[in-house]
Amino acid sequence: STSGTGLKLADNANVSIQTITKVTQEKKDADGNPVLDADGNPETETITTQAPVTTPVTLTGTSEQGSGIATEGNVSISGIVLNGSTTADTGTGVSLGGNLTIADDISGVTAGATGNGTALVVNNASIHSDGYTDSGKDFVINASVSGNGTAIKTQGSSQLDEVVLNG
């Protein structure tokens, strides 16, 4: 985006990546015997399972004068890394607002800015790192700037639960 938001997650957005597996197998009765159709052939059934991913998917947003990535309202991510950047002096790489829940221990946020931009803005945000806390890990948001910009800017009243800001 030139002056808008590259990627915006808002209004109860729940972004989750799962591994889905489908297997077709013969049906069995309660005793473990094959279930047969009217012609005496084994009946089949499709079993679908889902499991969390082990490698996150990166969603990237870039904006020159706006925000590369912005969160508002209630947002939850699982299996996702939000990667936002800006290339202009007035831009923001990632703007976090509202309630953000990190539901697993592989998701994350990275923010970057070049020139005099701001990599990360935390604005009236409540960030919950439940997935990391439950597994005994630290949740770290990395913000980097090349130039004379600002790595991390906080404004308003924010609550960071077990969150490390690294800029």
Q: Is residue 65 part of a domain?
A: yes
> Domain tally for the chain?
2
Residues 37 and 101 in one domain: no
Average pLDDT for 47-60 = 86
Q: Which domain holds residue 139?
A: 7-17+54-166
pLDDT attached to residue 165 = 94
Return d(Cα 152, Cα 111) in angstroms, integer.
9
- At 89-113, the pLDDT tens digits run 889 999 999 999 999 999 999 999 9
One domain for residues 39 and 80: no
Q: Is residue 158 part of a domain?
A: yes
How far is Cα 23 from Cα 77, in angstroms, rounded to an integer? 28
**Residues contacting 25, CB < 8 A, separation 6+:** 44, 45, 47
- Does 149 share its domain with 80? yes
On whether both 48 and 58 belong to a single domain, the answer is: no
Q: Which two tokens stand for residue 111?
A: 């923010």
Q: How many CB atoms lie within 10 A of CB 49?
A: 10
Q: What is the tens place of the pLDDT at every residue in 64-88? A: 889 999 999 999 999 999 999 998 8
Residue 2 included in any domain: no
Residues 77 and 116 in one domain: yes
Q: Is residue 1 part of a domain?
A: no
- For residues 12 and 74, membership in a common domain is answered with yes
Q: Which amino acid is at 97?
A: G
The verdict on residue 100 lying in a domain is yes
Model pTM score = 0.80
